[in-house]
Amino acid sequence: MKRMAVMKRAALASVLALPLLALAAPRAAGAREGEQSARGSYRFSLGDGYAKYVEFDAQTLAGGGAAGSLFLSDESPLTYQDADGDGSPEETHRGFYISASFDGLTVVGNQAVMSGDVRDSSVRDLIGQRVLLTVEDNGDNSREPDRLTWGVYRPAGTWEVSDAEWENDPGVGLRWAATDAEREDDVPVAMPGSNRIDTDTFLLSAFVFVDAADGAGDILVRP
C-alpha cells in the first residue's frame, strides 16, 4: 500500500463511520472491459484520531450511464438534523456509515467523479439522498499521493417557472437550447437545466482536496 492524502470539500456534508480493513474493491457488476473506470479503497483519518474508510468501484456502461458501488464509514461523532423537516431534534451518532449505488461516472485525465443514490445508512434520513465522490489518481508515488473528496446532497424538488402576470403562462413546460449569440462554435445547452445532483453538477475544479493523516490505500482511474 502507498501513503495517500484524502481530500474533503468543506461545503459538503461528510458521512463516514466504522473502521474496516482496506481491501481492493471488486469490479462493478455488469461493466465491460474497455470502458472508463475508477476504483479503490482507503483507510485514513483527518488528524482527529477517528478512523475512516472508503471503498468504491465504478465503470461506465456501453449503453450509457455507469454501474458500481460505494461504502463510506467513519468513527467520528455526527450531529444530524433534518433542516427541511418538521423541526425534529438533533441526533448524535457515535460513528456511522453509508452505502450507495452509482449511476454516473465522468473521467477527465487522472480524475473521476461518481454519482449515485444512498441505498443504506446507519442514519436513516440519509437513505435516498444523492452522493458524489471525486477522486484523483496520482500513480504509485509518495511525493504526490492520491486524493479524494465526497458530499451527500438532498434531492432537489421539482418546480416550473411561470410569468406571475399570466394566469395560464403558455411558456410553462417548454424546453429550449441556449447559446452565446456572439460565438458560432458555442455548444447549445438544454434549458431549463436539470436539478438532479450528478457528475455534471459541479466542475472538477470546484472540488477542494484537503490532506489527511495516517492514510493508506490506492486509487485507480482508467480514462
The pLDDT of residue 131: 97
- pTM across the whole model: 0.72
DSSP string across 104-166: EEEEETTEEEEEEEEEEESSGGGTT-EEEEEEE---S-SSS--EEEEEEEPPPPP-----TT-
pLDDT, tens digit, 9 for 90 and up, residues 86-119: 556 788 888 999 999 999 999 999 999 999 999 9
Give residue 73's pLDDT band: very low, low, confident or very high (50, 70, 90): very high
* pLDDT over threshold 60, residue 30: no
Nearest CA to 173 among 158, 187, 155, 188? 158
Give the start-to-end residue ranges of the domains of the chain.
2-158+174-222
* CA–CA dist 156, 203 (Å, integer): 19
Amino acid 56: pLDDT: 98
Mean pLDDT, rounded, for 30-54: 82
Q: Residue 172: what pLDDT? A: 72
By residue count, the chain amounts to 223
pLDDT of residue 179: 85
Which string of DSSP letters, residue by residue, matches the chain?
A: -EE------TTSB---BS-----PPPPPTT--TTS-EEEEEEEEE-SSS--EEEEEEEEE-TTSSEEEEEEEEEEEEEEE--TTSS-PPPEEEEEEEEEEEEEEEEEETTEEEEEEEEEEESSGGGTT-EEEEEEE---S-SSS--EEEEEEEPPPPP-----TT-TT-TTTT--EEE--TT-TTPPPEEESPP-S-STTSS-GGG------EEEEEEEEEE-
